[in-house]
Amino acid sequence: MQTDRADNLSSIYVPLRLIYGLVPIVAGLDKFANLLTNWERYLPPALARTPLISATSFMRVVGVIEIVAGLAVLTAFTRLGAYVVMAWLALIAATLIAAGHFDIAVRDLVMAAGAYTLARVAGLRNEPWIPAAHKTQTRAA
């Protein structure tokens, strides 16, 4: 019976892990190339005009964060990475709302719910938040 549960969780876990790992990496890389879209146009006007950092540099920082989050999901940090992706998508949705892109914000909130689902499934699979900490706790017990 336990094997059936693991198989059922894997049928949910594997596609979610691939989606929430690969999509942030692709979107993050595209912040440097702008092949999919001009990402800067999604910034709220006040943020796009800030003298502290150019819109291009800001989007490249965003890209690096997305790449790291996607890699976390695809490696041993799936549970933690999924929560990071969830929070990141919620922040992106807030930024999109501020910029007046309500339709895309709704999509990103739905994607955030999917990332939350991945994080919960990883928890049901007993994956630790941080694998090294889990190994240390197991040895100490």
Structure tokens at 74: 């695809």
Work out the average pLDDT over 25-31: 98
- Mean predicted lDDT score pLDDT of the chain: 90
Tell me which of 116 and 136 has the higher pLDDT: 116
Q: Is the pLDDT of residue 22 over 60?
A: yes
- Helical axes 78-98 vs 55-74, angle rounded to 10°: 150
Structure tokens at 51: 């003298």
Nearest Cα to 55, choosing from 37, 79, 39, 68?
39
How many angstroms separate the CA atoms of 73 and 86, rounded? 11
How many angstroms separate the CA atoms of 123 and 137, rounded? 17
Give the pLDDT of residue 85: 98
